[in-house]
């Protein structure tokens, strides 16, 4: 007997992936060879899923290095590795959330048609929805992947001082702002990425902004000390 079980069935929390495997053990479907093959596959599958769950919660150094080595050209110093640990964890959580949202949208789209929903709304509600959609189309604010990657870098740096839940993005037509407590009176820095030349905007004690040119998102790490020093006013 193997020390590790190849299949676990929790009747209070049934895994939909387990049900087909349980059916193979029924009297009418039982086949020794297929069960043995499935057992070997399920044993490794469950172990891989367990490892992935552990990495999502607390990424190990080798796991972080795997991603960092492919997107970061500089030297992986201790500080950079620590920052990439936070970025990797955040990226994994966002990827998981995006995957869940995509499946929900797909399920909603396939099960509910527009023609079915439309009669529920009266003319006044339809007009409000159309106006709302029109206003959204007129909006010129577009958050880019680069801006979100830079936002994650800033969070990784500032987590030494603040809980990451307090660090909020605020995108505008002119710049991508990063605020403390989502408060305009507590600017942490600004990202000016709308032109060919990118700038990182840092604030002094009087909240006067100074723009620093950067050629890549990784260069934000070079301003870590200045960024941390500029935010001491909020401690």
Helix (H, G, I), strand (E, B) or coil at 187: strand
The kind and range of the H/E element at 203 are strand 198-203
Domain range annotation of the chain: 1-50, 61-138, 145-234
Predicted model pTM = 0.45
pLDDT the model gives residue 191: 95
pLDDT of residue 114: 44
Quote the CA–CA distance of 182 and 186 in Å, as a whole number.
8
Instruction: Give the tokens for residue 121.
Output: 């709304």
Q: What would the CATH number be for the domain defined by 145-234?
A: 3.30.720
pLDDT (0 to 100) of residue 106: 67
Are residues 84 and 64 in contact, defined by beta-carbon separation less than 8 angstroms?
A: yes
What is residue 198's three-state secondary structure?
Answer: strand
Evaluate whether 59 touches 85 at the Cβ level (below 8 Å): yes
Q: Which residues of the chain have pLDDT under 50?
A: 1, 111-122, 134, 137-138
Structure tokens, 5: 């079980």
Integer CA distances (angstroms), 192 to 9, 89, 106, 138, 185, in order: 53, 26, 35, 21, 19
């Amino acid at each position: 007997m193997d020390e590790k079980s190849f299949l676990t069935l929790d009747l209070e929390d049934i895994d939909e992936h387990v049900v087909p495997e349980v059916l193979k053990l029924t009297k009418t479907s039982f086949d020794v060879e297929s069960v043995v093959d499935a057992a070997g596959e399920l044993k490794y599958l469950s172990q891989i899923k367990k490892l992935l769950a552990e990495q999502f919660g607390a990424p190990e150094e080798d796991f972080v290095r795997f991603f960092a080595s492919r997107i970061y050209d500089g030297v992986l110093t201790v500080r950079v590795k620590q920052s990439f640990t936070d970025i990797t964890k955040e990226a994994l959580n966002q990827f998981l959330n995006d995957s869940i949202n995509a499946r929900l949208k797909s399920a909603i789209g396939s099960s509910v048609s527009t023609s079915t929903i439309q009669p529920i709304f009266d003319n006044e509600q339809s007009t409000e929805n159309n106006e709302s959609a029109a206003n959204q189309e007129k909006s010129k604010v577009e958050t880019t992947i680069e801006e979100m990657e830079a936002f994650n870098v800033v969070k990784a740096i500032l987590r030494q001082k603040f809980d990451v839940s307090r660090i909020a993005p605020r995108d505008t037509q002119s710049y991508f702002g990063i605020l403390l407590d989502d408060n305009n009176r507590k600017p942490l820095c600004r990202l000016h990425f709308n032109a060919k030349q990118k700038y990182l905007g840092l604030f002094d004690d009087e909240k006067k902004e100074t723009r620093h040119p950067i050629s890549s998102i990784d260069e934000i790490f070079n301003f870590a000390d200045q960024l941390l020093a500029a935010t001491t006013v909020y401690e």
